[in-house]
Amino acid sequence: MSLLKIAWRNIEQRALASTLTGFSMALGVALVVAVLVAQGVIADSFTRGACGYHLVVGKKGSQLQLVLNTVYHLQDPIENLPYSFYKEFVTTGDQPGRFAPYVKVAIPYCLGDNYQGFRVVGTVPDLFDKLEYAGGRKYEFEPGGRNFEHDHFFEAVIGASVAKKTGLQVGDEFQPTHGLKEGDGHKHDAFQVVGVLKPTGTANDRALFINMEGFYLLDKHAKPVEEGHAADEHHEHEEGEHRHAEPAEHHAGEEREADHPGEARDADHHDADHDKHEHDDAHEKAAAAPDAHEHEGENHHHDHEGHDHHHEPLPEEQREVTAILVLASNDFSAEALRTTINEGETAQAASPIRVISDFFKTMVSGVSIALLSLTVLIIVVAGVGIMVSIYNSMNDRRRDIAVMRALGAGRGTVLSVILLESILLSLGGGLAGFLLGHALVGILGPVVEAFSGVTIGFLQFVPYELVLIPGLIVLASLMGYLPAMSAYRTDVAKALSASP
């Protein structure tokens, strides 16, 4: 009979005490597993999302806020950048922008709307065609889907989590709601889903990406034009098809602040009578684009075939972008760009990897270490519980140990049996705790997702969990040592002579 079986029989003999001590170990391990998995998955998710490009460029302010808002769709945007600043990163016709020689890809981000609480991002198809994520992975679409096209203004691509939670599929339409948070905001024109992204494990799973050209045409998304210019434009069109339009100079002459910081320009004073002004966007567009007025009557019918074909892009002077994702030509160019942009007065450039790394080092790591220390302490306390349980049983088992010795078991053998009992209890409790911890992660997943935007599930593992096995064996050996030594020192003759 193996020592392991002898140890197991001894554990069975004290079933209640063994179960209770094992359960306390399970609780400790469950908490450690939950903390490790949550921390690991969140860190991994943040790192994945921060890969694929060098810089995030936005209005001056907090770098962390810029990165969290742009890369992870958390928090509110800072402010908008002029569209002309975005053009510095690209080549228009033959005219390269100031930063264009150092830039491989520049992707504009326009924020300001949501759909059922998920963030809607106005952007360009290059986001999925030219950028990668998580260290070299290309964006892929579920079968039957594709990227939206530049010329189809009201097409959209949605993230995997959005598709799962909203039920949207390729061919469906959705109406973004004005504002970044779910609420009773104004519903915009509908966009048609043409692609569902395969899961990426990044925050993009939780966003909807619409054609930026369509975004600009939505209600309240056009920046007011200069007063003089607007008056001229309005003059040309006031007798036209703009039956619901107000004079353009009425907008342009007022200071207007965005409902949501950073979103494309809003017109607060219009909120009270949305119905009357549901064609504002068309109006504003028309105010700057004289040849666009002929399409006004079709603007808000959700016939996208006609929609895309009959709309003209919003003039550049009425455009803004919330952020720009920049993939530089190389790492040196990226660093040079970052320095140059940060030295200017308009914008800031942040390296998402660096910002997130700093954030984890300063904030998350500290909290995680504190949490881990606490949970490890709970495991140690559970280990002490095992020690106390076995040690207290030694008086009752003294005679059994003496019998084993009388049958020929050496001191080392009885010591090993007691140590094995401690290890079995720890590992058994640890295994239960491992399952319990993952169940806890599965149950708390939605809460973590709501808080951090990271999807986390029962079957997610982190390598650090493997440390638990040797860790528990070492702890059990230490905790089993005292009762094992008590067994080792048993006076066989005395124990056998004692009354049973």
Partner 1 sequence: MLLLKNVKKSFAQPDGTRLPILDIAEFRVAAGEQMALMGRSGCGKTTLLHVIAGIARPDSGLVEVAGRDIGRLSEHGRDRFRADNIGYVFQTFNLLPGFSALENVLLGMSFTGGRVDEARAQRLLEHVGLGKRLTHKPAMLSVGEQQRVAVARAMANRPKLLLADEPTANVDTGHQQQIIDLVRNSCTEENVALVLVTHTPEVSEQFSRVDHLDQLNQAVVSA
Residue 400 C-beta: closest distance to partner 1, Å: 5
Instruction: Specify the residue, 253 or 410, whose C-beta has the smaller distance to partner 1.
Output: 410
Both structure tokens of 339: 């320095």
CB atoms within 10 A of CB 88: 20
* Residue 244 · residue 182 · CB < 8 Å: no
Please tell me the chain's helix, strand, coil percentages from 3-state DSSP, rounded to the nearest 5: 55, 15, 30
List, in sequence order, every residue forming a beta bridge with 110; answer none if it has no partner: 122
Q: How far is the CB of 3 from partner 1 (least distance, A)?
A: 8
Tell me how far, at minimum, the Cβ of 408 lies from partner 1, in Å. 2
Least distance (Å) between residue 424 CB and partner 1: 14
Instruction: Specify the residue, 310 or 411, whose C-beta has the smaller distance to partner 1.
Output: 411
Q: Which residues, 6+ apart, have CB-to-CB distance to 164 below 8 Å?
A: none
Phi, psi of 77 (to 5 degrees): -65, 165
Specify whether the backbone of 387 is left (phi greater than 0), alpha (psi in -120 to 50) or beta.
alpha
Residue 196, beta-bridge partner list: 158
By C-beta, is 9 or 309 nearer to partner 1? 9
Residue 12 burial class via C-beta count within 10 angstroms: exposed 0-12, middle 13-18, buried 19 and up: exposed
Q: Which is nearer to partner 1, 164 or 411 (CB)?
A: 411
Q: How far is the CB of 5 from partner 1 (least distance, A)?
A: 8
Instruction: Give whichever of 2 and 95 is closer to partner 1, judged by the CB atom.
Output: 2
Residue 14 or 87 having the CB closest to partner 1: 14
Distance set, CA 426 to CA 33, 252, 379, 434 (Å): 15, 72, 9, 12
Residues of this chain that bind partner 1 (CB under 8 A): 1-2, 6, 9-10, 12-13, 399-400, 403-413, 492-493, 496-497, 500
- Cβ proximity to partner 1, 62 vs 413, nearer residue: 413
Residue 254 tokens read as 């007022």
Whichever of 156 and 492 has its CB closer to partner 1, that residue is 492
The residue among 2 and 395 lying less far from partner 1, judged by its C-beta, is: 2
- 221 by Cβ neighbours in 10 Å (0-12 / 13-18 / 19+) ranks as buried
- Minimum CB separation of residue 4 from partner 1 in Å reads 11
Q: Which of 292, 287, 301, 289 is nearest to 250 (CA)?
A: 287
CB-based contact 275:120 (threshold 8 Å)? no
Beta strands in 300-415 (DSSP E): 320-321, 323-328, 347-350
Question: Nearest distance from residue 364's CB to partner 1, in Å?
Answer: 48
Taking the complex as a whole, the smallest distance from the CB of residue 499 to partner 1 amounts, in Å, to 8
How near is the Cβ of 473 to partner 1 at its closest, in Å? 23
Hey, which residues does 349 pair with through a beta bridge? 57
Q: Which helix (H) or strand (E) holds 119?
A: strand 118-123
